[in-house]
Amino acid sequence: MARAGLTAERLTQAAADLADEIGFQNVTVSALARRFGVKPAALYAHIKDAQDLRVRTALLALAELADRAAAALAGRAGKDALVAFANTYRDYAKEHPGRYAATQTKLDPETAATSAAGRHAEMTRAILRGYELSEPDQTDAVRMLHSTFHGYVNLETQGGFRRHPREVDVSWSRALDALDTVLRNWPPA
């Protein structure tokens, strides 16, 4: 029997909040049950297992991030769009480190196809159309952008840049300047 007040949506939101507090890798069914003051078995009326909980958290985070990115991109093109998009990812990762980690969850093809992941890819491609990139260059540029954003954010949030006196925000801005320059001057095949 389902416990009153517990729903899959409420558990997912709580798991996302918990991920931001203790790290996505530390979110377990037991930890979530403790948060609600119930036994872990009470959660299984709403979720299948720990993997289901991880996937639900990833889907929530992907949707939140896609909504933020879409709002940031509205009415922008070129470098303005690139910067808004990149800053949205970076800000989300800093505000919601556990949720951001969840966005890196490997999803099965069917789940991925129905998730907000496709929106992320389409927004990136829309930015690149402003730079007049077409396939196969567009795919290469999508990979470059996502690798740069994710790599920078991971290094920054892990404290990888703290040993140098140069401001991290200045380096981030310069990295975005460099990406804009590369995209405007994409090398021929």
Closest CA to 61 of 12, 126, 128, 121: 12
pLDDT (0 to 100) of residue 188? 86
pLDDT (0 to 100) of residue 1? 40
- Cα–Cα dist 82/88, whole Å: 10
- Cα–Cα dist 133/141, whole Å: 8
pLDDT along the chain (189 residues), means of 10: 73 96 94 91 90 94 96 95 97 96 93 91 92 93 95 92 90 97 93
Q: Is 39 helix (H, G, I), strand (E, B) or coil?
A: coil
- Cα–Cα dist 180/163, whole Å: 27
CA distances from 96 to 15, 41, 169 (A): 12, 28, 18
pTM: 0.90
Q: Report how far Cα 132 is from the mean position of its chain's Cα atoms.
A: 26
Q: Which CATH number fits domain 57-184: 3.40.190.10, 2.60.40.10, 2.60.120.620, 1.10.357.10?
A: 1.10.357.10
Tokens of 162: 């703290």
